[in-house]
Chain A
Amino acid sequence: MLQFTQELIIGLSIGATYALLALGYTMVYGVLRLINFAHGEVYMVGAVSGFHFINLALRWHAPLALALTIAFVGSAIVCAILGFCIEFFAYRPLRGSPRLVILITAIGVSLLLQNVVNLNFIYGPTPRTFPAEVQKGLNTSIGIGGVYISRLIIIRFALSLSLMAVLTWIILRTRTGLALRAVSHRFDTAMLMGVNTNRVISVTFILGSVLASVAGVMDGLRYTITPLMGVTYGLKAFVAAVLGGIGSIPGALIGGLLIGITEEFARFYLPTQYTQYADAVAFVILIFILLLKPTGIMGSTAVEKV
């Protein structure tokens, strides 16, 4: 039972990062009916910038907590600018173009970002990890009633939950959030209300990218960082968004958590020779959703906006 609780907590903390990323897919889909396939690369750039910022901070002998803060904040700023630019330069000129054109552009942006980060003076192809002192500091476990949780997991939880709370507040309680909900329902009617839809779209990309940057830094703290790390991870977060019902914000949360938990349980409970298949769990789930309930858990049955 203790073991189960422990795995559940780890699964939830992994799921919380999937959820952060899934929120970006779902919000952009909500306003533009567009799958931003470059979103996984924003996450990757988040991890890479976090890596650079933390090394810079440690070189200046910043204490661990400060270095981490600098990494999170710096990476959030980099990703916010990146997300804004992706929309402004790649998607905005194509507004109203056929979906296939936009999809191909999204893939193009992904490849561009992967290859830019692959340049040696930016980051390079070699997988790297956050400095050992950071990892050591974060891997210390805290025992609560026999369940051992590392500091990293606590940070992941606290950060993800507070970001989701802030996002929910923005969407439900602010003027911009109201506009975002209106644009998600119907673009042209929102314009008739006096909403500057271009501004709302920029805000959506910026919010999504900030969430992705945090997920990126948190995963950088746990795994190795490579220019291709956003590919599988982005796909899994996309699956989480589809599972929850793409376009639905609570759906992205639920979808992310579910994917995280099933994956962790698969990793732990599958016989050792099959653990490598844990990554495939998300995709098996995707196939089942597409067969059984294509609109996802919280998805509306609303007809596709044209």
Chain B
Amino acid sequence: MTRIGSDTSSPAVSAAAPALLSVRDLDVRYGAICALQGVSLNINPGEIVTLIGSNGAGKTTLLRTISGLLKPANGEITLLPTSPSPHPPTALSKLRPHEIVRLGISHVPEGRQIFPNLTVSENLLLGAYQRRDDLSADIARCHTLFPILKERQSQKAGTLSGGEQQMLAIARALMSRPRLLLLDEPSLGLAPLIVRKIFDIIREINAEGTTIFLVEQNAHLALKIAHRAYVLQTGRILMTDSAQALLANPEVQKAYLGG
């Protein structure tokens, strides 16, 4: 029953290239509350896919389930393995969060959640916790993307401004060299100028080859940088289309774009 709603609105996913991440009929509950019901979506390699929805729609719940912090009541999440063809997609819902990080998914949580008592450098090192190889190239890349982090490297992360903390949170997530980057409302509480800067960098990270799943309440901005988008409403996928089409969609304009 829950499936009908999401299936009719899902476009035919390109049959040729398998999705990098695939979410099928996902139900997630907090006790008796159903936060997600029958959610299905696909993220193809190289895309920026955005999920828009108002406060309480279940966006954070979906990201936390993908990362393994929450266990679904039903449904499955699968990730394309790194090595091609013979391997079937890996099912994520039985794995623990650190194992999911190791498979190449990195999550920038809502509200940034940097470690305020650790230095900027230590925060970056934690982002690479699963790796045992040389990190200097990755640290250099983070410093190029966000020069302010280089200046502040030995400062406690708690002393950074909100925008700098968001940059640190993104840089920290890049340290694990993710194939898929999950971003939970990176624009939250930031000045428009900083938001624009961060969104430019998101696009740059994508251009360098990282697939991005961007969750936003700020639908306008998100739709502008995304290739495709899903609309989530009270735990269900309401519609999905190319980002351009949704920008032009009167229903979306009315509900999420302020007119």
A interface residues with partner B (beta carbon < 8 Å): 175, 178-179, 181-182, 185-186, 188-197
Contacts and interface: CB of A to CB of B under 8 A. Distances in A.
Contact of A192 (B101, B102, B117): B101
Given A175-B129, A179-B126, A186-B113, A193 B118 contact: no
Interface in B124-152: 125-127, 129-130
A17 B69 CA distance: 39
Contact of A193 (B68, B69, B117, B127): B127
Q: What class of interface size applies to chain B in its complex with A?
A: 20 to 34
B189 to A, nearest CB: 18
Contacts of B113: 186, 189, 192
A196 B129 CA distance: 10
17 contacts: A178-B122, A182-B115, A182-B126, A186-B115, A188-B64, A189-B109, A191-B69, A191-B96, A191-B97, A192-B67, A192-B106, A192-B107, A192-B113, A194-B97, A194-B98, A194-B101, A196-B96
A185 B115 contact: yes
A245 to B, nearest CB: 13
Interface in B212-258: none
Interface of B: 64, 67-69, 96-98, 101-102, 106-107, 109, 113, 115-118, 122, 125-127, 129-130, 172, 176
Among A175, A179, A192, A195, chain B packs the most CB atoms within 10 A around the CB of: A192
Contacts of A179: 126, 129
B116 A195 contact: no
Contacts of B129: 175, 178-179, 193-195
Contacts of A195: 98, 126, 129
A194 B109 contact: no
Contacts of B102: 194
A302 to B, nearest CB: 9
A181 to B, nearest CB: 6
B130 A181 contact: no
Contacts of B172: 193
A196 B117 CA distance: 20
Contacts of B118: 178, 181-182, 185
A189 B97 CA distance: 10
A178 B127 CA distance: 11
Contacts of A189: 109, 113, 115
Nearest to B106: A192
B125 A192 contact: no
Nearest to A199: B98
Contacts of A197: 98
A132 B58 CA distance: 69
A191 B102 CA distance: 11
Contacts of B115: 181-182, 185-186, 189
A303 to B, nearest CB: 13
A178 B97 contact: no
Given A181-B115, A185-B116, A193 B101 contact: yes
> What 4 A-B pairs are tightest by C-beta distance, nearest first?
A194-B101, A194-B130, A191-B97, A189-B113
A193 B126 contact: yes
Contacts of A192: 67, 69, 97, 101, 106-107, 109, 113
A190 B113 CA distance: 10
Given A192-B101, A193-B129, A195-B98, 10 more contacts: A181-B117, A182-B126, A186-B113, A186-B115, A188-B64, A189-B115, A190-B126, A191-B96, A191-B97, A192-B109
B134 to A, nearest CB: 14
Nearest to B175: A193
Nearest to A195: B129
A114 B150 CA distance: 54
Contacts of B127: 193
A191 B176 CA distance: 13
B157 to A, nearest CB: 10
B17 to A, nearest CB: 28
Contact of A194 (B64, B69, B116, B176): B176
A182 B127 CA distance: 11
B59 to A, nearest CB: 16
A193 B116 CA distance: 15
Contacts of A191: 67-69, 96-98
Contacts of A190: 126
A188 B98 contact: no
A175 to B, nearest CB: 7
A172 B203 CA distance: 36
Nearest to B97: A191
Given A188-B69, A192-B97, A196-B98, A178 B125 contact: yes
Contacts of B116: 185
Contacts of B176: 193-194
B33 to A, nearest CB: 17
Contacts of B122: 178, 181
A192 B175 CA distance: 12
